[in-house]
Every structure is written in C-alpha cells, then in structure tokens.
Amino acid sequence: MRPPSPAPVAVADRSPHLAQHRGELSCAVTDALRSARSLRYAPGAVLEADAWGEDLQLALYLLYELHYRGFDGVDDAREWDPDLLRLRRAMEKRFLDALRTELFNAPRTVEDAFAPLLVEPVDLSGSLSRHLETDGELWQLREYAAMRSLYHLKEADPHAWVIPRLTGRAKAAMVAIEYDEFGAGRADRIHAQLFADLMTDLGLDPTYGRYLDKAPAPLLATVNLMSLFGLHRALRGALVGHFACVEVTSSPGSRRLAKAMRRCGAGPAAEHFYAEHVEADAVHEQVVRHEVIGGLLVDEPDLEEDIAFGCAATVLLDDRLASHIREAWDHERSALRTPLPQP
C-alpha cells in the first residue's frame, strides 16, 4: 500500500558533522580526525572505560562511520589509518568481552536462540512498541524516531558486508532480502528513504547523522553491534544471527508502531514505514531462517554458536535500549541526551 504523501524528501547524501566528544577516547578520536594529528590518549584508557558507556560507544561509532559516509572535512584516507584501527580493535575487544560476559549462559544453538522469538509473549507490559501503541504520545514517537534514525538510515548497509562471505543458498537468499531492503531497484522505496519520509512527517530533520549528538550510549551500542559484526569476516555467523533476529522480531513490533503512528496522527509516511515492514519482514523471516541460516549451516555447521550469539547479543542490546527509554519516559523526561525542540 502506498500512502497519499508528497514526493519523498531525499536522504541528504553529504557527510555528517563530527559529534561533540563525551570523554577521553571520543575526544582523542575527534581531535585526531579534525586536525589530522596522531591519536593522544592514556595507555590504560580503553581498559578503564565503561564498555557500555557514552565515551567508548561514541568513539567506536565515530571510527565505524569512517567505513560508511565519513565526516565532513575528514580525509577519506583516514578510514585505514593504522593508529585509528588499533584503537578501534582495542575498543572492539572491550565491547565483545562485555557482550560475551553478559551472555555467558545464552543459548548455543540456533533452535534455542530463536525459539522464544517465534512466539509473541502473552505479557507485553514491558514492551516499548506496546507502550507506544497504547499510551505513547507524539513527543515520544518523535524521540524514538530521532534515536532510531542512526540505525534505520543505514539499516541494510552493514548486512551487505556479509554477502561476499556467503555461498550458495545463503548468499542467494541474503541478496534477495537485501534487494527488497534497497528498494527493489527504486530509490524512493529504499527502506532508509522510507524512514527519512517518516521523519519528515514527524517534523524531524532526515539528514543522515543529524541526531548523533543527542543519541545515548544504549542506542549507539545497537548500531555499533551490526558494524562490529559486519566488518569482521570472523563474525559473519554473528552478523547472520543479528540479521535474522531483526527480521524475526520486526513484524509484530512494526504492527504495533504503525498503530501508534495512526493513533497519534503522525502522518501517512510515518505509518507507512512500519506498515511496509509488517508485510515485508513476515516474508523475510521465513527466507532468512530457512535459506540464509539453513544454507549457512549446511556450508559451515561450525558457525551455529556464532549465529546464536549474534541473535542473543541483538536481544540483549535492544532490551537495554528499551529499558533506558522506558525509565526516562516513566519519569517524564527525555530519553535523548538533550530534548528535541518543539516541531
């Protein structure tokens, strides 16, 4: 279904601006990128940093962004700067160690990891999408969209990195799903563009990276996770697990969010983004479980534990983000680092 909306507003293709630093590591990264000088930070800064904290997650996000659109005024050659890569690798290890510690008792098989996700819980009282569907206010929908823009405006990009690392059934199925994500040949149907249209309906700026300074660490971690998995061939199984988890859980949540947009009068493009995902992701779920995961396990059965880990890590970080948002909203305050201006 196509909403009766005006011509889509193009997602700005210029490079975003660097964010303001939030501590020693992110300060070192922003200073190095702005000045083209070498990195300067204390030897123990990475080990002392909070793996879930604002400083490390922002620094990691900034270094990952060099592999996407880069930053305004930053030389594209910095993408492969050895000093930046060494720092990124150290922070990645800190992040991965924290994930593996949290998920020590997580499922080790695909069946055990995905089985709970295939049945919608009876009790949805802690569900963020359920809250937005029944009780959410327009200001909360706007905050949610501003935060999720860092994810959805690059939604399919990191998953594309796994394509050359797959073969046979898994590769063919992954390409088929990504073809849909990228609009099936139509620029106005790219899912990132549909999200930009949603943001316009909500009175938000759809410019890529616009709300980075407002994004809290739990949101940055969800975006960093897919970049971490996507950039490392050794983590290809985890990336498939992440992708499958997103597709399996998307349809029910999207149905609730479409209703939330309609109830709050957010606009036709805002409602359409989620309505589109109800249908598309219900199909994608079947393809990714039976063909992408099924094909990968035939080719590389030893990756099963990695697939399960990718799924569990996705659930963990989504739950951490939802808890952060609900805790803020339950106390009538913004879940962003600084509130949005009124539209």
| pLDDT(7) > 50 | no
How far apart CA 28 and CA 84 sit, in angstroms, is 10
Name the band, by pLDDT with cuts 50, 70 and 90, for residue 283. Answer: confident
Domains in the chain with CATH codes:
24-102 (no CATH), 110-330 (1.20.910.10)
- 96 Cβ contact partners less than 8 Å away, ≥ 6 residues apart: 228
Tens of pLDDT, residue by residue over 135-171, are 999 999 999 999 999 999 998 999 999 999 999 999 9
How far apart CA 179 and CA 181 sit, in angstroms, is 5
Helices (H) and strands (E) in the chain, counts: 15, 0
- 25 Cβ contact partners less than 8 Å away, ≥ 6 residues apart: 41, 45, 46, 49, 55, 56, 59, 87, 91
In this prediction, residue 9 carries a pLDDT of: 43
| pTM of the predicted model over 0.95 | no
Mean confidence (pLDDT) of the chain: 93
Rounded average pLDDT over 226-234: 98
In this prediction, residue 193 carries a pLDDT of: 96
Name the band, by pLDDT with cuts 50, 70 and 90, for residue 1. Answer: very low
Report whether 295 contacts 226 (CB < 8 A).
no
In this prediction, residue 145 carries a pLDDT of: 98
| pLDDT(4) > 70 | no
In this prediction, residue 2 carries a pLDDT of: 46
Tens of pLDDT, residue by residue over 328-343, are 999 999 999 999 998 7
Tens of pLDDT, residue by residue over 287-321, are 999 999 999 999 999 999 999 999 999 999 999 99
Name the band, by pLDDT with cuts 50, 70 and 90, for residue 122. Answer: low
For tokens 């797959």, the residue is: 166
How far apart CA 4 and CA 331 sit, in angstroms, is 37
**Distances in Å between the alpha carbon of 181 and those of 80, 97, 153, 186, 268?**
28, 31, 11, 10, 20
Rounded average pLDDT over 88-100: 98
* Cα Rg of the chain (Å, integer): 19
Name the band, by pLDDT with cuts 50, 70 and 90, for residue 13. Answer: low
Neighbours of 335 (CB within 10 A): 22
- CA nearest to 152, candidates 325, 11, 55: 11
